[in-house]
Structure 1
């Protein structure tokens, strides 16, 4: 299996929304409500971040969002099924290479909920280090957010 990143275009907009609204993606996000199509369309129309589609063997399977030297991502949980963990690893590899290659970043960081241990372990595997923790209210509940960062 191979994974590649490509720029997102308007045909990807609704696909990205379906991945983001999957219950398991929302459960580990900093905003967990189901995003309505109008809200997503407004974000899409005014996005200032670089949005890339991760393709697994030519099939759109996830999204990577770069906003300055900060990044986030999520995958097509249902479409990937048992291939999800392997796809996570390939996506992270591609995203880090893209950040330090074509984007020319010297550092890359992001937020992960403390309870999302799988993603934190994945980040450590790719050289990210925890630099701080802080509290954030998520759906009325105080949660710990872990900021991880990697230098080129």
Structure 2
């Protein structure tokens, strides 16, 4: 059983970029992304530089026992108090690491960042992420039918939301 006390989220730093990019470009992660393109280090670095000082975006690495295990971001939706989140754990992470990342991330978002609502979107073929959102207490707020189409096919997009008040009651 994983120990919650040994989990930590800290701000993404330049020293983390190559590891996070390696995970993001890994087939087991990339196949669930809307953008399945391989990202170059140069493009990744430019993204980091463009976004590192923005107040409406928060980027973190997830550590367990002081080892990098995952990534999570919160980006404020324009004209809203809600933030869309994105996340992944490293390929071949041990069982339970994703749940620990989710719990730790929501705790940080709602208690430290004081975010009012977390919003997530999931491609319909990613059943693991759909179950993950339900397990964390998210409500399905929408279903965009046949909303996404690429070389993999045509898919629905599930939309999930979790309010700060719902999380704090739990």
TM-score normalized by the length of structure 1: 0.91
**In 1, Cα distance between the equivalents of 2:89 and 2:123?**
17
SS in 2 for 1:101: helix
**In 2, Cα distance between the equivalents of 1:109 and 1:94?**
16
- The offset of 1:143, in angstroms, is 2.0
Give CA deviations for 1:110-130 in whole Å, capped at 9, x if unaligned: 111111111111110111011
Q: Which runs of 5+ in 2 are unaligned?
A: 77-82, 165-170
- Work out which structure has the larger RCO, using CA pairs closer than 8 Å and 6 or more positions apart in sequence: 1
- The offset of 1:140, in angstroms, is 7.0
Q: Which runs of 5+ in 1 are unaligned?
A: none
Is 1:26 matched with 2:33? no
Paired position in structure 2 for 1:38? 42
Give CA deviations for 1:33-61 in whole Å, capped at 9, x if unaligned: 11112221221111242110100111011
- Number of residue pairs the alignment of both structures matches: 148
Is 1:77 matched with 2:91? yes
Is 1:94 matched with 2:108? no
**In 2, Cα distance between the equivalents of 1:86 and 1:127?**
17
Give CA deviations for 1:20-41 in whole Å, capped at 9, x if unaligned: 0010111011111111122212
Paired position in structure 1 for 2:163? 151
Is 1:53 matched with 2:57? no
**In 2, Cα distance between the equivalents of 1:16 and 1:139?**
25
Paired position in structure 1 for 2:10? 6
Paired position in structure 2 for 1:110? 120
Paired position in structure 1 for 2:167? none
SS in 1 for 2:114: coil
SS in 2 for 1:109: strand
SS in 2 for 1:44: helix
Alignment of 1:116-127 (within 5 A): 116-127=126-137
Give CA deviations for 1:46-89 in whole Å, capped at 9, x if unaligned: 124211010011101110011011100011114x2xx1x30000
**In 2, Cα distance between the equivalents of 1:115 and 1:129?**
18
Q: Is the CA contact 1:64–1:74 (under 8 Å) kept in the aligned structure 2?
A: yes
Q: Is the CA contact 1:31–1:138 (under 8 Å) kept in the aligned structure 2?
A: no
